[in-house]
Amino acid sequence: MPKLLIVEDDAELANQVADWLTEQGYQVEKTATGEDALQLLSNFKYDVLLLDWSLPGLSGLEVLKRHRESGGMSLALFITGKGDIDSKEKGLNIGADDYLVKPFDMRELSARLKTILRRPQFLLPDELRIGEIMLNPSLHKLHVGDKEVRLMPKESALLEFLMRHPNRVYSSKDLLDAVWPSEKEATTDTVRSWMRNLRKKLGTADREDFVKTIPASGYVIECDLESMS
């Protein structure tokens, strides 16, 4: 589930893009200023930045420049009204991965995102399997043997993250940063509450212990590499 940050001061457009991409299965956050974008980037990790070029105060171009200078590796897609070749060249040279000129069709936006995400670190399987546990993240379906369990999107996202990173312990804070949009009023207590819900559903398939708790440390899925696919 790639995590996206939309940096766009046109509230109507930002909401339209966010709603569309959320329906496509992305985890989406929004901000309207370059200054706020840099603050978020200093505290959270994003897979892709959707950057308007012309922002009040700090421009999208300057945001990307500073992000790259600080070592930031988020993919970047400019969404802008600047369609001239000089602007495109400048944006791509500063570190953007693609460039989409307004107005645009949402389907083209989806296609552009899929293209830039088609890199080795993002070529992830649609289904995850560890032993007898199989998760389809896009459908939020968990299979344990012949039993099927429907998960809420957040339960599915929690389980997906841990299954993609087995044998590593993650604290509630780690999971909060990885799974919850930073713009929402979520806390580590929120993480623990959703984890309890997830374990109850795993319990209906007799696998409540699939996600283990390490006292004073966090949560982990322990497995042998041979059991993964």
Q: How many domains does the chain have?
A: 2
SS3 118: coil
For 116-151, what is each residue's pLDDT tens digit? Answer: 887 544 444 567 888 888 998 877 889 887 889 899
18 and 73: one domain?
A: yes
For 143-155, what is each residue's pLDDT tens digit? Answer: 887 889 899 888 9
pLDDT score recorded for residue 147 = 87
115 and 137: one domain?
A: no
For 174-219, what is each residue's pLDDT tens digit? Answer: 888 778 766 567 889 999 999 999 999 988 878 888 999 999 899 9
Domain closes at, from 104, 122, 140 = 122
CATH code for position 187? 1.10.10.10
The mean predicted confidence, pLDDT, of the chain is 84
User: Domain range for residue 157?
Assistant: 128-227
CA distances from 151 to 36, 166, 174 (A): 33, 20, 21
115 and 156: one domain?
A: no
Predicted TM-score (pTM) of the model is: 0.56
Between CA 88 and CA 196 the distance in angstroms is 48
150 and 114: one domain?
A: no
Neighbours of 140 (CB within 10 A): 19
Domain closes at, from 107, 122, 137 = 122
Higher pLDDT pick, 49 / 25: 49
Q: Return the H-helix or E-strand segment holding 112.
A: helix 106-116
Q: 31-40 burial string, b = 16+ CB within 10 Å, else e?
A: bbbbebbbeb
12 and 114: one domain?
A: yes
Model confidence at 113: pLDDT above 80: yes
99 and 182: one domain?
A: no
Domain closes at, from 122, 141, 157 = 122
109 and 218: one domain?
A: no
Model confidence at 63: pLDDT above 80: yes
Q: How far apart are the first and last CA of the chain?
A: 18
